[in-house]
Amino acid sequence: MKKRWLIPVFASFMIFTSSIVDAEAATPQELITTAKQYIGVPYVWGGTTTSGFDCSGFTQKVFADLGYTINRTSQEQFSQGTPISKENLQIGDLVFFNTSGNGVSHVGIYIGSNLFIHASSSKGVSIASLDSNYWKGRYMGAKRMVDFPNSTPEVKASTVDLTIYASREKVAFRLAEGLGLDTTDTNSPFIDIKSSDRVAGAVTALNKLKIFEGNEQGRFNPNSPITRAQMAKVLVKAFNLKPTGKNTTEFRDVDKNHWAYDYIKILAQHGITIGKGNGNYGPNDYVSNTQLETFINRATK
């Protein structure tokens, strides 16, 4: 299994380098969070992008986001990994089904409590139960591609160009500036931010306001990109934005069940975002440095 750079799913960034290095292996919770961010993305046969996934395109995308390469189709994925009994399933295992009558034809990701997340042909990316009559009768088996609770981290460089895309560090600087925060306290609560780091004052101030709270390991991860969905949440919290009741155009790629739906709607109500000009918001796209400046400038007016 090839381990590439691990992309954390919470907001984080950097401005002085064009490559990212992160030595943290994916955790079960990061797997779940990464997968759930795509809930509501529609089903598209052969789809491998956030415009639409088929079942194996979805599983491949989630694993790629976490830095792991797996095969493309459900049949090919079924040929990988270690067979796992249903009784020994753990978070991150792939679960396979026969929905066509001709062997393995569907795959999802186990997320615990007998639930799995998958790209359903009828509902798009959604959560289902292995206990349901439909899925119970079509279950074919499971494969462990990665032992997430015990996976070994490897350090790899990211292909994300941070001369183009924003980083958590840059967002921290810009938010602290835009909010006029006192950044003299550099006693950072994050284990990967030293008091001598230039961003220490900004992240400490933002943490006090619970705008940035880090991940499960207590890391801020200053050198990672942020998605537009994550940026929406950060801005709403930072500027204490409230719903206005104003009618706004619904974005086609942000379903009401999407975790960031309310945050994105509030941004639109306040005129901080108008989307990407094609009826979409692009929740899973990375925020560019230009977009960051636009967001901050509109929010501070």
Q: Can you point out the beta strands (E) in the chain? A: 48-49, 52-53, 82-84, 94-97, 106-112, 115-120, 124-129, 139-144
Q: Which long-range contacts (CB under 8 A, 24 or more apart) does 58-65 make?
A: 58/118, 58/119, 58/125, 59/94, 59/107, 59/108, 59/109, 59/118, 62/31, 62/34, 62/35, 62/38, 62/109, 63/145, 63/146, 64/4, 65/7, 65/9, 65/34
Are the C-beta atoms of 53 and 109 separated by less than 8 Å? no
Tell me if 295 sits within 8 A of 172, measured CB to CB.
no
Q: Which residues contact 290 (CB under 8 A, 6 or more apart)?
A: none
Task: Bin 219: left if φ > 0, else alpha if -120 < ψ < 50, else beta.
Answer: beta
Catalytic residue among 106, 170, 219, 265: 106
Paired tokens of 65: 């986001």
The two tokens of residue 229 are: 């969905």
The yes-or-no answer on residue 106 being catalytic is: yes
Separation of alpha carbons 102 and 47, rounded Å? 21
Which listed residue (55, 66, 232, 266) is catalytic? 55
Q: 3, 61, 118, 168: which is the annotated catalytic residue?
A: 118
Backbone angles phi, psi at 276, to 5 degrees: -100, 10
> Can you spell out the DSSP letters for 218-257?
S---TTSB-BHHHHHHHHHHHTT--------PPPTT--TT
Q: List, by residue number, the catalytic residues.
A: 55, 106, 118
